[in-house]
Chains A and B, each alone.
Chain A
């Protein structure tokens, strides 16, 4: 005879105290079979689990503790824990279904990346005529466009107008007779070394 467990809906959970088992009647539309299997597998090491399909669209899970606890409290705990695990499995199952395309895409990319760079033959046969991807913010810029060479200045006056900083080779021929001790900085060859260079030699 089925006994109602305190705190559990009687239409879903019923215990058979003399057998030490508790049954949960589930709607298959709410809890997919994969989720029921997942939850059952989690409990299979500490419980005896039996599944049944009493009618179409319904699933019945019967659980009993392996260690033989048959008290009402122990069965209530078992039913509650299983229901929680079942809900978790159902939720994970739904997330997996919703993200199936993304998961497959990422996995394919990872496998494709692990296969290494394309060969010259593959590059030769690659179709470069495809339209570029959409760039609504206009932030994409090609390498050629970003790093294209500017024309070199043509006249001698233009060459003198170039700034002297950032290149040690521009000042190599202008070292005075009484040059200071080399400090390791080629950027300041005249007079006192720059404070930054002094700081470096002090170290």
Chain B
């Protein structure tokens, strides 16, 4: 299991949620919240798959956040 931590000042919660929905089919994703972070626990079928899933999910969440901020 890998834990992804997205700082609340840098990532929009809606963007993280949307990324979770998109990548839910590719692994086991659990969402948690901390005071300053959105936390996502990722479990993949293999270590390599899990690693790639984490990176793709993080990229997707960042892309949505940037687009969302630009549209504001």
Contacts and interface: CB of A to CB of B under 8 A. Distances in A.
Contacts of B5: 52
Interface residues of A, number: 13
Contacts of B9: 53
Interface stretch (B13-21, B25-33, B38-46, B54-62): B54-62
Contacts of B58: 48-50
Contacts of A44: 59, 62-63
Contacts of A24: none
Contact of A37 (B55, B56, B59, B66): B66
Q: Which of A44, A50, A52, A59 has the most CB of B within 10 A?
A: A50
A95 to B, nearest CB: 17
Contacts, number: 32
Given A49-B62, A50-B62, A51-B62, A37 B69 contact: yes
Interface residues of B, number: 14
A22 interface: no
Given A37-B69, A48-B55, A48-B58, A53 B63 contact: no
28 contacts: A33-B10, A37-B66, A37-B69, A40-B62, A40-B66, A41-B63, A41-B66, A44-B59, A44-B62, A44-B63, A48-B55, A48-B56, A48-B58, A48-B59, A49-B58, A49-B59, A49-B62, A50-B62, A51-B7, A51-B10, A51-B11, A51-B62, A52-B7, A52-B10, A53-B7, A53-B9, A53-B10, A64-B55
Interface of A: 33, 37, 40-41, 44, 48-53, 59, 64
